Amino acid sequence: MAMATTSSKPMREQVEEFISKLQEDIVSALEKLDPNAPAFKRDDWLRAQGGRGLSCVFAVPDPSVSEAAATAQNSVLEKAGVNISIVHGILPPPAVKQMRADHGSMKDLEGSLPFFAAGISLIVHPRNPHAPTVHVNYRYFEITEPVPEGSQEKGKIVAWWFGGGGDLTPSYLYEEDAKHFHATHKAACDPHGAAVYPTFKKWCDEYFVIKHRGESRGIGGMFFDDLCDEPHKRFLEAGGEEANAQRPHTPETIFAMIKDLGNAFLPSYMPILERRIHTPSDARARRWQLLRRGRYVEFNLVYDRGTRFGLLTPGARIESVLISLPETARWEYGSELGSEEGSEEARLMEVLKNPRDWV
């Protein structure tokens, strides 16, 4: 468990150091899993409006390009991205107005405001239909007071918060995988308050929902946002003042929790991936996998807050915003897959329509 410590470094620097190391650890583990596959492409980039990032992306060439490209189609992963961004700039008035609703410390703020945001976001789409897709992200956001143009002074922080989470999105339901993924994250949450895991898990079940389908995107995980020192309505709803009082409140204690959750990713997912990558499969399983990926696309483009925020952010790198989309997906009119009673596909659909507690 990461201990909350007092550092002389600003929180933005601590977050930057953590996500940079976590990114390298995750990419290295994924490359080690499949040493014969192409390495992740490392793409350093600068943001004209302020900031930088590093996108680590896995993709193999289209098989029509060459014989070598066709051979690469045997890779464990089909597409993956492990990206970090550390950006700053000016938040426009409409965004400030929107954020005031969730942050009492911003109630008197108007106009454009300086901001800083840093985070890590990853998506892994394995090739085997029995190996689940996974998505995780953690982020830190702060807003400072404006300073006179040309001033070398740094504005006072007037609002800050952490957010993050992730979910497991299988095409086929393996209960041992679901229990392992949730149990690992619960173990990372529990030292930071008894209400943390159930609150984040319930929030995840309510967030990753394809409303027009009446089904979840996956089998859950965690989701949280706007976590700072202010009373949080999700914890108040979960267990009243007591639950809210017990969860982390300070930048140091919330960041300690973020580090535990970030470091829980590899032990939560890699054993599952290693178990499923060699499972025998067939054309039906591939077809169902592509249909589930179509649902993934629907959620991300219609409902996901991060995708919508990214597309509306000035100077956004569209390639990075859309990195979560699978390389291939499928939509069928009135497909029978998933509706056949007693089938493995229908077994998954039952859970997607009726979320379960896994631990």
The single residue of 103, 125, 135, 232 carrying the catalytic annotation is 135
Which residues does residue 223 pair with via DSSP β-bridges, in sequence order?
Answer: 165
Q: In what order do the strands lie in the sheet with 41-46?
A: 41-46, 51-59, 77-91, 113-126, 133-144, 157-169, 221-227
- Evaluated on CA atoms 173, 174, 175, 178, the torsion sign reads negative
- Contacts of residue 177, defined as CB under 8 A and 6 or more positions apart, other chains included, come to 132, 168, 170, 272, 275, 276
Beta bridge partners of 142: 116, 160
Place of tokens 């979840």: 216
Active site residue 135: yes
Do residues 289 and 28 make contact, with C-beta atoms less than 8 angstroms apart? no
**The pair of three-digit structure tokens given for residue 214, joined into one six-digit string:** 């009446």
How far apart, in whole angstroms, are the C-alpha atoms of residue 52 and residue 156? 22
* 292 within 8 A of 171, measured Cβ to Cβ: yes
Q: Which residues are catalytic?
A: 135
